[in-house]
Structure 1
Amino acid sequence: MTRETEKQRWQRNFTDLLQELRVAQTGVQILFAFLLTLPFSTGFEDVNEFQKDTYIVALLAAAAATALIISPVAFHRALFRQGRKPELVRFGHAMATGGLAFMLIAMVSSVLLITDFVLPRPVAFVLSAVTAIWFLTFWAGLPFLRRNWGDDEEEDDEEETMSEAEQRAAA
């Protein structure tokens, strides 16, 4: 079995993070684009003040999510070839987490905006709360409950992984 160096592990972590960000980035950019066009569509002039406020929250949250989810790419450009992959991975993780939080706000606000426009407000609040719970269940609840899955495997992997110094000594 090939043993992974610390440098290889950081590179793999960064690659995994970029794959995750690609999925989130597509979703938030589609939502952001939709929200950017909404005021120019017919019928938007019929929204009330609450709906306009909800729209602004959704739009700004989508903009914030977009900025945070794309920021690891800009950070990578700034640190390119400086050997700071651990810092980049930690930063990317924090930005992805923040981006997902803003994406949650944008999604729930968008659901509230649309449901409040077509349904009675109490129903809109209930559906938006259910949406928030649904997202939180899959984005936070289940991962938190299952965070210890595979701990035994990680311990085995750590035992099998040699540090670069150990590999040089063995060679």
Structure 2
Amino acid sequence: MAHDARDGRSESVEERADRQWQELIQEIRVAQTGVQILFGFLLTVAFTPHFQSLPETDKVIYIVTVVLGALATGALIGPVSFHRIVSGRRIKPEAVAWASRLTFTGLILLLATCTCALLLVLRVATDNAVVPWLVAGVLAWYLLCWFVLPLWARVRYTAAD
């Protein structure tokens, strides 16, 4: 059994793929829950009486938000389908790589969905002059939490090969 100690573990390629798959599935569970709740809520908005009186701009933002939510849902559920279809074909390392790509794409789409949903809600709920500033601030927070801090930690704490 070949072992790869590059990551400080004594595990085979197959064991590493199994571990990475389990870690990825745990991550997806968190993101899937959020995107599914948000997407489900978004789907109901068009059926409310208030929706019909929204200005065209807000309806366009809504449509873009729903489409982004649908795309995020697809990308975050995609790894499950991918795994099911390729299961037993002895390509788990490749499945992990593709599932990871789908998950990252889903996170980008979730970021866009959350930002657009916030834009729409704040446009309806408050003075339009302050909305861009609030949305920009929350977007900056998302970027910091989801990408900047992890990338900083990756650079800071990862030894160069």
TM-score by length of 1: 0.84
Size of the aligned set, in residue pairs, is 153
- Alignment RMSD: 1.6
Structure 1 residue 67 corresponds to structure 2 residue 63? no
Name the aligned partner's letter for residue 92 of structure 2: K
1:82 maps to 89
Partner Cα separation in structure 1 for residue 157 and residue 14 of structure 2: 22
2:114 maps to 107
Q: Displacement, 1:120? A: 1.6
Q: Displacement, 1:148? A: 3.5
Name the aligned partner's letter for residue 118 of structure 1: A
Q: Name the one with the larger helix percent.
A: 1
Structure 1 residue 46 corresponds to structure 2 residue 53? yes
Partner Cα separation in structure 1 for residue 157 and residue 22 of structure 2: 20
1:116 maps to 123
Name the aligned partner's letter for residue 136 of structure 1: L
Mean Cα deviation higher: 6-15 or 142-151: 142-151
State the 4+ residue runs in structure 1 displaced beyond 3 angstroms. 148-152
Q: Displacement, 1:127? A: 1.1
Partner Cα separation in structure 2 for residue 116 and residue 137 of structure 1: 24
2:21 maps to 14
Rg larger for: 1
TM-score by length of 2: 0.89
Mean Cα deviation higher: 39-48 or 17-26: 39-48
Mean Cα deviation higher: 2-11 or 101-110: 2-11
2:136 maps to 129
- Give structure 1 stretches of 5+ with no counterpart: 156-171
Secondary structure at the aligned position of 1:122 is classed as coil
1:165 maps to none
Partner Cα separation in structure 2 for residue 105 and residue 118 of structure 1: 20
2:151 maps to 144
Q: Displacement, 1:114? A: 0.5
Partner Cα separation in structure 1 for residue 146 and residue 26 of structure 2: 16
1:91 maps to 98
Partner Cα separation in structure 2 for residue 149 and residue 17 of structure 1: 23
